[in-house]
Amino acid sequence: MIYVLFNSKSNNSRGEEDARNWAKCLDTEPEFVSLIGLDYKKFFDGLTKDDEAILCGGDGTVNYFANEMYGYKFKCKLSYVKCGSGNDFYRDVEKYEKDGRVEFTQFLKHLPLVKVNGIERRFLNGIGYGIDGETCLKGDLIRETDPSAEINYTSIAVKLLLGGYKIRKATVIVDGNEESFKHVWLSSTMFGKFYGGGMMAAPDQDRLNKEHTCTLTTLSSVGRLNTLFRFPTFSSGKHEGKKWINHKVGHSFKVTFDIPCAIQIDGDVIPDVKEYEVIIK
């Protein structure tokens, strides 16, 4: 039996519609299962090796699923289909797609753990800390006021670059090695290449690398206009070798800002964060 798991809240509440439209390509009629209120472990305990579960959703859906099911031994085949608005996870794994879906189980191993403000959580894409976190926070505030609003994150980021974001100083510790930075716009830990709706923050990061490492990307640049002009280079992943970008690869990370700001974990925002830690094994 094929089960299509959908999140009705994904892609601006078009998640079920997207999942049903995608399922039209299947040769058999699947059973549709809502993820809202679902007891994940109980559901998967009832499946066998002859079943296939297809997870449909965006980055928020896969993040929640990964945290609920991390360490679970799946008996059935587990696949993933993008049905979200950001789809950074899909951008990173699209090359593994076959028959319209991606084998998902392989991506639920060795996930990094972030510790922030007493919260511990696994993530699949990246931690945005700095102007990227503040941009997501502003987007959430707009959505609270108008749930139907189309959020233009690029426009929000530009406004913050031009005056709304207060530049930080950062201390980073990677695998025990400490370094300090001034004029910091962001210092983000990446498990995949993409975050923020397509920004390639860590172009050399491979989520399936045998060393099980993450990449810390720190952007430190003097001057708002200079940074604004450099941002398209950063967003497109063409910033390798630039002196205003610093990449650190490792297994343990601690980032501390002199002034608290928002952090986003696969798009989920936590405001007023002074520091965070990431561990990957």
What pLDDT, on a 0 to 100 scale, did the predictor assign at position 143? 83
* Residue 145 CB burial class (10 angstroms; 0-12, 13-18, ≥19): exposed
What pLDDT, on a 0 to 100 scale, did the predictor assign at position 78? 98
User: Residue 200 carries which DSSP code?
Assistant: E
What pLDDT, on a 0 to 100 scale, did the predictor assign at position 66? 97
- Show pLDDT as tens, one digit a residue, over the chain (281 residues): 999 999 998 887 889 999 999 999 999 999 999 999 999 999 999 999 999 999 999 999 999 999 999 999 999 999 999 987 778 999 999 999 999 999 999 999 999 999 999 999 999 999 999 999 999 999 889 888 887 777 788 888 889 999 889 999 999 999 999 999 999 999 999 999 999 888 999 999 999 999 999 999 999 998 999 999 998 999 999 998 899 999 999 999 999 999 999 999 998 999 999 999 999 99
DSSP per position, 41-101: HHHHHT--TT-EEEEEE-HHHHHHHHHHHTT---SSEEEEEE-SSS-HHHHHHGGG-BTTB
User: In the structure encoding, which two tokens stand for residue 203, read together?
Assistant: 């172009």
What pLDDT, on a 0 to 100 scale, did the predictor assign at position 64? 96
What pLDDT, on a 0 to 100 scale, did the predictor assign at position 233? 93
Predicted TM-score (pTM) of the model is 0.93
